[in-house]
């Protein structure tokens, strides 16, 4: 007997909490994010055939160059949420201010945070790309009155996850009850469940970091790198280095194989490069649900209360033992 594959929508209905209002809301949000994923994947497949690669010539709120595909991916997410009534606000890496969704002003119970196209330096070289999403429930339905209403801890996320655009397209999410991976059947235009209750090995043998910056890191971070590179058969070192320049792709590898991804602070950027609310927090939510950890090196990412929507944060994420080991190097010596 052939067991029919489980689609994204069917999967949510099969969850133990499927009868709850939350499950229905979640199904709504994930289906819209899945649709954005299909549309972005379609753009990416043919981007090189038209004039859509390269920069727009502008910079975003982060002061980073905006690629044409960054903007396109952002527009796709906004379009997808137009005309629905459950998500009333979208916060994006590509927009300084939150975007309120017309039509959801009285009814929207959720805010969605997105990095619409992660790893944009890979755009022009046909490397892996991703999108990251984080879903928060609003205290009141409608538009939040103040920006402060959106600055929530990672622990408050209702669900979070990412889309990975590699040789195939994956959607990985957690709603706090395990981690699930779906793969897009491009011909049928449907995401199907390909891994359920994913777990990350307690320790890995891979590290992922931009070593070009290592001389700018604090001594503790340089010491972690040196430790990972040291030969020692008993602890399985040296670890292998793997870095794609796309956080989603690198963290996905670590989620499946185990190990440590890190983007530390450096002498110029005391908070590192990655953004808390739509990069570090959602990925930490997923990795923690799989049994791993997400840390600034000193504290749990999802304990942080954002001071601003586009806050940056140093990130050490991956296998539990690897993150704990890194933290032991990063703690001020007086605390060890
Ligand atoms: P982006 O969202 O603008 O692409 O920036 C985030 C990216 C991550 O995907 C990646 O891990 C990191 O920035 C790469 O930075 P670097 O080029 O400094 O290694
Ligand atoms: Mg990013």
Q: Which residues contact ligand 1 via a Cβ below 6 A? A: 64, 93, 115, 118-121, 210, 245-247, 263, 273
Q: Is the peptide bond preceding residue 238 cis, with omega within 30 degrees of 0? A: yes
Structural domains of the chain ordered from first start = 8-195 (3.30.540.10), 206-331 (3.40.190.80)
Q: How far is the CA of 17 from the centre of ligand 2 (A)?
A: 31
Q: How far is the CA of 276 from the centre of ligand 2 (A)?
A: 10
Around Cβ 231, how many Cβ atoms within 10 Å? 7
Q: How far, in Å, CA of 254 to CA of 193, rounded?
A: 20
Residue 295: name the closest of 314, 267, 273, 322 by CA: 314
Give the ranges where 67-166 is alpha helix by DSSP (H).
68-81
- Both tokens of 26, joined, read 């979640």
Residue identified by tokens 């990130």 is 315
Q: How far, in Å, CA of 173 to CA of 101, rounded?
A: 23
Residue 313, pLDDT score: 98
Residue 205: name the closest of 248, 238, 247 by CA: 238
Ligand nearest to the CA of 266: 1
Q: How far, in Å, CA of 277 to CA of 267, rounded?
A: 23
Q: How far is the CA of 245 from the centre of ligand 1 (A)?
A: 6
Q: What is the pLDDT along the chain (336 residues), one digit of tens a residue?
A: 566 789 998 898 787 766 788 888 999 999 999 999 999 999 999 887 777 777 888 887 777 788 889 999 999 999 999 989 999 999 999 999 999 999 999 899 999 999 999 999 999 899 999 999 999 999 999 999 999 999 999 999 999 999 999 999 999 999 999 999 999 999 999 999 999 999 999 999 999 999 999 999 999 999 999 999 999 999 999 999 999 999 999 999 999 999 999 999 999 899 999 999 999 999 999 999 999 999 999 999 999 999 999 999 999 999 999 999 999 999 987 665
Residue 53, pLDDT score: 79
Residue 18, pLDDT score: 66
Residue 25: name the closest of 117, 281, 33 by CA: 33
Rg of the chain, C-alpha, whole Å: 19
Per the CB < 8 A criterion, the answer to whether 256 and 291 are in contact is: no
Per the CB < 8 A criterion, the answer to whether 282 and 132 are in contact is: yes
Residue 282, pLDDT score: 98
3-class secondary structure, 37: helix
Around Cβ 311, how many Cβ atoms within 10 Å? 17
Residue 336, pLDDT score: 59
Around Cβ 146, how many Cβ atoms within 10 Å? 7
């Amino acid at each position: 007997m052939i067991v029919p594959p489980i689609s994204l929508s069917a999967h949510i209905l099969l969850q133990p909490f499927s009868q709850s209002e939350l499950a229905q809301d979640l199904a709504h949000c994930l289906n819209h994010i899945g649709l954005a994923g299909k549309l972005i994947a379609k753009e990416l497949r043919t981007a090189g055939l038209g004039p859509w690669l390269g920069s727009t010539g502008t910079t975003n709120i982060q002061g980073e160059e905006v690629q044409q595909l960054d903007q396109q991916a952002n527009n796709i997410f906004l379009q997808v949420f137009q005309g629905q009534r459950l998500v009333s606000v979208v916060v994006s890496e590509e927009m300084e201010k939150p975007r309120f969704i017309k039509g959801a002003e009285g009814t929207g119970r959720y805010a969605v945070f997105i990095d619409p196209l992660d790893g944009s330096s890979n755009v022009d070289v046909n490397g892996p790309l991703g999108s990251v999403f984080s879903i928060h429930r609003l205290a009141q339905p409608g538009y939040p009155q103040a920006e402060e209403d959106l600055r929530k801890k990672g622990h408050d996320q209702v669900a979070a996850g990412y889309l990975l655009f590699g040789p195939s397209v994956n959607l990985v999410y957690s709603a706090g009850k395990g981690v699930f991976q779906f793969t897009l059947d491009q011909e049928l235009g449907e995401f199907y469940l390909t891994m359920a209750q994913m777990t990350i090995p307690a320790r890995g043998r891979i590290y992922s970091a931009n070593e070009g910056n290592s001389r700018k890191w604090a001594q503790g971070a340089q010491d972690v790198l040196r430790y990972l590179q040291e030969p020692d058969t008993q602890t399985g070192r040296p670890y292998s280095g793997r870095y794609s320049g796309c956080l989603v792709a690198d963290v996905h590898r670590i989620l499946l194989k185990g190990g440590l991804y890190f983007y530390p602070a450096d002498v110029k950027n005391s908070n590192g490069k990655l953004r808390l609310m739509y990069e570090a927090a959602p990925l930490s939510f997923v990795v923690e649900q799989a049994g791993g950890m997400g840390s600034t090196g000193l504290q749990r990412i999802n304990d942080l209360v954002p001071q601003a929507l586009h806050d940056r944060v140093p990130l050490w994420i991956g296998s539990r033992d690897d993150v704990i080991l890194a933290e032991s190097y990063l703690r001020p010596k007086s605390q060890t």
